Structures are given as structure tokens and as C-alpha cells.
Amino acid sequence: MELYEWPAHRIHRGLVTGEVSAREVALATLDRIGQVESSVGAYLHLRPREDVLADADAVDAALRRGESLAAFGGVPVAIKDNMCCRLLPTTCASRILEGFHPPYDATAVTRLQGQRAVLLGNTNMDEFAMGSSTEHSAGGVTRNPWDLGRVPGGSSGGSAAAVAAGEAVVALGSDTGGSVRQPAAFCGVVGLKPTYGRVSRFGLVAFASSLDQIGPFGRDVRDVALLLGAVAGHDPADATSRPAEVPDFEAALVPDCRGLRLGVPREFLAAGVSPEVRAAIAAAVDLLVELGAEVQECSLPTVPYALDAYYVIAPAEASSNLARFEGVRFGRRAQGTSDYVEMFRRSRGEGFGPEVRRRIMLGTYALSAGYYDQYYGKAQQVRTLICREFEEALSGYAALVTPTAPSVAFGFAEKMDDPLQMYASDVCTVPINLAGLPAVSLPCGFSNGLPIGLQFIGRAFDEETILRLAYAYEQAADLRHRRPPIVAPRG
């Protein structure tokens, strides 16, 4: 195994024992970026090489002084381009924020820096996190390391691709309707959406404030558990942050499922889920039974309406949140305009891409006089029903088992001209955001060399159980060592 492929927990052990230095780890990862980034396009902004190495050298110096090392000290990490970081531009992959340098750091970034993590750069994404393929980016597309002709998923496609390709050890993304879990499934890595309120949203540029959550990516479940522990916890700067105790997520990782009763909602395996995905999920369920779990079919009858409700609620919140980008206080401002109204109109028209404009218009319409009750109000009622159904189901089951996505990664431009088909790729992930619950995705098989994702859904603030399930399955299935065939481009 190459050094850039080591998981964070292995790097930590190597640093503590002196087997490897933080500089060596940083150099290996930077060299890997130099080899494959031109093919993958995972990053929008990379920090200068000398700055990355200086951070690594500081970790080595601290170790020589006998200082203790946190879990992510000396570990190369990447963050999605919608998390404020003073060391980098934060553009949300949008022209309207070209050149914007935030004056403060997101709390999740601050917590990683407090552990002496080595920040590499920020990753590509669908503009303002609105998309499922990372094709809606002003910075160009990101390619799936398993097949460069296919998408990595979205909107956190850059983070997932960076981890899969060895361009970062771990990464942070954000998940509003599946934007951590779906790209994790497409790129064959592990991705987790925490319970709403588990991780501070302070410094995360808002898309839909009642749905957004920061979540971790890693190449194995242990790294994801450790990264969640590093960034979780109450934050007074975020009014939606819950003062819940942060458990030792790593301690929950045991290699069996004894005593756990699991439900398989039939609605998540309905029409639209490919036969290959169905077969992989069925095989995963059989393995979970072998590991000691009791598995039963169950039903969440309102779930088929989740996608409709989501695409009213999320655009409505986006319409409100993105009103601040008007070309006055920061970001792009149209030149040669005759008055303020023209300046606002042209700045937003030039700065926002077509998918963002589409969602702003949908959201504005749903909130407009005469339609608020008809659309937004009804969507919130559906959301309430979905929350109740999940609560009822999870009162009888420790967790639910579903596919992460209805198919493997699709080809570039395959769904760009059909927004409804693109939105349907989130059908297995959106309901969990509406309910505010935690869910984790990990690989459970392959179809024509492309990864398939398995999703565990848990009770609110019970990430420990779904991490335990994910770890037990990961250890038994033993797919975590399989790597994408991405190689350095030929000179």
C-alpha cells in the first residue's frame, strides 16, 4: 500500500511510533495530486506546496518536543468549497463569489486546525451545493476515479473523488439531500451525514438551512468515525447546533451485529432501482444476518412523496439564503449598469449558473403570495408525516437498510438536459435529510467495475449504531482495500 493510501488511523499510529513523518505523508499526497489531479479535477483551490509542507513540519517538530498528537495531527485533509477558510478562497464553485476570501473559519475547519490537520485545499462541487453530479460548477467538472467518463456524484463530488483517488486521506463535504452519501456511493468510499445539529453549520455557506449538514468522507469506517468525533459538538455560534454529548464513536466499532434488529423499507427498493443495486443490497442483507442481525421488511408509505416535498422546501430556503448575493457587499458585481436594480439583476444573472437560477425561481414561486400554502405549506406537512414514519419505524428497529443510490455512477451529460431525471438520483437519500436523521454509505459491491453503495439509517443522535453496522459489514465484506484504476496521465 502506497503512503498516500494509508487511512488516517494508520498514519496516526505511524507518526506516534516514528515509523513515518508528517512531511513524508504530505509529500506522498502532494505527489499523488500532481500525478492525477489533471485527470480527476477534484480541487478548485490548492494551498501552496511550501505552506502544506510547513504545516507538516510543525507537526514533526511538536512530536520531537514530546507533545501529544490528536487523531488528525499531520493528516492531509480536504474541505468542500462551501466551508469558510481564511487560508483559501471560498467560492461555492460559483462565479458570483469569484475571489472571495472569508474573514473567518467555519467551526468544522477550526476544529480540524486545532488538531493540527494538514489542509490541502478545497474541493469542487455543484454550484452552491445544488446538484447531484458536480457538473454544475463554474470551475469545471470532476471525474470519477473509477471511470473518468462518469460523474463522481454531487454535490460533494470533489471531496469524494479526492479521497477515492488518494488526493486526500479524508475530506469534509456537506449533505442537504444526499450530497455526502451519493458521491460516496459513486466513488466507492465511506460517507456519513450526521444528525441535524450534531455538527456546527457555522461558516458553511447555506443552501437550505433546515437540511444542510457537514459530514465526513474516508476510505474506511474507522476514519469516518474519528473525523465525525473531531468536528462534532455544540457550537454557540450556530443556533441549530444541539448540546448533545459527543460519544467515542470509535469505541462503537465492533465486528458483529448481534442483538440488532434491522428494517428494510420496501419503498427504497421500488421501481427505478437497478437490478444490480437490488442484488447487491440483497447480498448485503444476507451477510448482515450471518453477522447476527435480525432483518425484516418494513414500510414507510409516505417516502415516495419525499422527493416532491424536498424540491419545494430546499429551493424555497435557497431562494431566501441566496438573496444576500446581490453584487454589493461581496462577490461579483456587474459593470456598466445604470442603476441599482440593473446592477442587482445583471450581477445575479451573470454570477449564478442555470441550475442555481432554476432553483431560486422555483423557490421564489413556492413562497409567493397565493402559492405559499398550496406548495410550501403542503410540502412541510408531508415532511412532518415522513418524520413521524421514520420515528415509528425506528422505534422497532435499531436501523434501516437501503441502497444509497438507485444506480451506479452515470455518464457525463447523461442527465444534464433532464433536471427531473437528475433529481431522481437522490431518491434514496432525500428522505433522511427531511427527517434530520443520521445515515452512512459504504461500498457493498460492484457492477461493471463501478461501486454500489449500501446505506444505514439510524435514530437521531445515534450515529454509534450505524457506524457499528457499517464497520461490521465492512470487515466481513472486505471491499475496503479495492482501489480505483486511476493512473497518472501519460506524458
Say which DSSP state 105 is in.
-
pTM, whole model, 2 decimals?
Answer: 0.96
Cα separation, 44 vs 103, in Å, equals 19
Q: 112, 74 in Cβ contact below 8 A?
A: no
Catalytic positions are 80, 155, 179
Q: Distance between CA atoms of 84 and 231, rounded to whole angstroms?
A: 14
For the chain of 491 residues, list the mean pLDDT of each consecutive stretch of 10: 96 98 98 98 98 98 97 98 97 95 97 98 98 96 98 98 98 98 98 98 98 98 98 97 96 96 96 94 98 97 96 97 85 76 81 94 92 94 98 97 98 89 92 98 97 98 98 95 77 43
Q: How many CA atoms lie within 13 A of 442 on its CB side?
A: 31
Rounded distance between C-alpha atoms, residue 80 and residue 67, angstroms: 30
Cell numbers describing residue 137: 460548477
**Do 403 and 455 contact (CB within 8 A), yes or no?**
yes
What's the confidence (pLDDT) of residue 339? 78
The pLDDT score that the predictor gives to residue 489 is 61
Spatial separation of the C-alpha atoms in residues 173 and 126, rounded to whole Å: 12
Cα(470)–Cα(221) distance, rounded to whole angstroms?
7
Pairing of strands 118-123, 76-80: parallel
Q: Starting at the edge strand that comes first in sequence, how are the strands of the sheet with 118-123 ordered?
A: 43-46, 118-123, 76-80, 170-175, 213-218, 190-193, 439-447, 450-458, 399-403, 261-265, 294-298
CB contact set of 299 (below 8 Å; sequence gap of 6+): 265, 266, 267
| Three-state secondary-structure class, residue 378 | helix
**Residue 217 · residue 153 · CB < 8 Å:** no
**Domains along the chain?**
3-254+440-477 (3.90.1300.10)
Question: Measured between alpha carbons, how far is 242 from 329 in angstroms, rounded to an integer?
Answer: 31
Read off the C-alpha cell for 447.
Answer: 457492477
Query: Can you tell me which residue has the cell 451506479?
Result: 408
Closest to 267 (Cα-Cα) out of 447, 176, 390, 414: 390
The grid coordinates of residue 269 equal 427498493
Q: Which residue from 13, 250, 204, 211 is spatially nearest to 111, judged by alpha carbons?
A: 204
